[in-house]
Amino acid sequence: TALNCGVSLNEAGVFEKYNVKILGTPIQAIIDTEDRKVFAERVNEIGEKVAPSCAVNSVQEALDAAEKLGYPVLARAAFSLGGLGSGFANTAEELRVLATQALAHSSQLIVDKSLKGWKEVEYEVVRDAYDNCITVCNMENVDPLGIHTGESIVVAPSQTLSNLEYNKLRSTALKVIRHLGIVGECNIQYAVSPTSNEFYIIEVNARLSRSSALASKATGYPLAYVAAKLSLGLRLPDIRNSVTGSTTACFEPSLDYCVVKIPRWDLAKFARVCSKIGSSMKSVGEVMSIGRCFEEAFQKALRMVDENIKGFDPSIRPVDDAELEAPTDKRTFVLAAAFSAGYTIDRLYELTKIDRWFLHKMRNIIEFQSILESLNQGTLSRDLLLQAKQLGFCDTQIATFVKSTELAVRKFREEVKVLPFVKQIDTVAAEWPAMTNYLYLTYNGSAHDIAFNRGSTMVIGSGVYRIGSSVEFDWCAVGCLRELRRLGRKTIMVNYNPETVSTDYDMVDRLYFEEISFEVVMDI
């Protein structure tokens, strides 16, 4: 990676020889966070705890460390991206295989005590060279620890932390980042016990990561832009918040909505590939949806990942306890089938270790689906239709349940005035006056946040990255937007991929962070 390259150049004395000044985070801070042994020592200096682990350099040392920690253990390579060469080992033989693979492309291996089943929470933190420090966004993984963040369904802001837990983790994040001397943006990951107030720091990434792109799009806070300014030595209070125009970058964004990120896997395109997901990353892209409640955002996101899926559908996969316990890329739909088959929340918690709060929300969707299935188009009332839309059901889903067609449901919805409201992401949850062009649709509202002017040209984005469709398609969309602007046309962008340039709100006159479907495009 570029970081490893920079560290090597520094050690070889190249920067010193040519008098090159390093901007932003000092190189020592990068070494402190990437070298797991040094990182543990640095964190212990301020009385915080990392998960019990040992840094080793050979297979034999790894086996000795595992004996000391007790199986199961998590083995992961240092100085690597995307959980490369990591995995869980329940026996010495499994660890021997993992350690051999990991040490083939890294000089150091970390053997961690397994905290499988704990909650995984992360905070995005920004600090300037004058020690002003804020947390921009906190995120919670729906999947428990043991599944890489890039493989996990992630929700922002966190939904299941108590106020005490939230503030304790926030204070710790600021303390650690100040101690490490990071300048710019970084992300800190925690393992939080589901049964007590205990927590461990898993790692700190002293750089922009995939989580940073998500946090930036989820909050509307331009992390990369701010981090670049901080590297140049600017102070946080001197940088303008480009969304409100009146507040500074030295504030913590407030979210009056819920964001759900779901990864996209393309495992079906490869023969002989294992569909189990775990501590190393297999996903090729991700989607981000915005709603006013978890159910709404969750169902939207499922449709974004795959246009053939209409929501949290129990008919896609059969119930399978083994798949619930050892997750695959399709576990979400096994969960839906399990709810449909009458599994209790407690039984599903034991199998999946997904927090009960999320399981209750998922069950709400399945329960409402059975209400809709008992109706037909003639008996579907306005109130039930509105409730369905507030829980994230699309017209096609509702049409299937009430034995009708998408167009008939749409016509009925327009007749009874069940229409979405356009809300803006203003980073300040309407505490300050803010006019922004960063928008989403929701049925959990009572008024539009903006006024509409006619005569815009809509550009449809290319959606989620997948094998065979990546950044080059987004480049086409951005090229189109720039050309339209040059011609003096007002532009609207519809896309839902947080990793793209087309979803930067300064590229267009209006950005709808929404799913790309007949229903939504026609609503806009």
Using the structure block, give the residue that is written with the tokens 């049925």: 443
Q: How far apart (Å, rounded) are the C-alpha atoms in residues 229 and 235?
A: 8
Report the predicted TM-score, pTM, of the whole model to 2 decimal places: 0.91
Mean pLDDT of the chain: 91
pLDDT tens for 328-373 read 889 999 999 999 999 999 999 999 999 999 999 999 999 999 999 9
pLDDT at 505 over 90: no
- CATH class held by domain 52-114: alpha beta
CB neighbours of 252 closer than 8 A, spacing ≥ 6? 134, 135, 136
402-405 long-range contacts, CB within 8 A, separation 24+? 402/372, 402/375, 402/376, 402/377, 403/376, 403/377, 404/376, 404/377
Classify residue 508 as exposed, middle or buried by CB count within 10 Å of its CB (0-12, 13-18, 19+): buried
Q: Quick one: pLDDT at residue 82?
A: 60
Q: 90 or 280: whose pLDDT is higher?
A: 90
> Mean pLDDT across the stretch 92-105?
87
- CATH class held by domain 430-523: alpha beta
pLDDT tens for 364-399 read 999 999 999 999 989 999 999 999 999 999 999 999
pLDDT at 1 over 80: no
Q: Where are the domains positioned within the chain?
A: 52-114, 430-523
Give 35's DSSP letter: S
pLDDT at 83 over 70: no
CB neighbourhood size of 136 (10 A) = 23
> Mean pLDDT across the stretch 117-141?
95
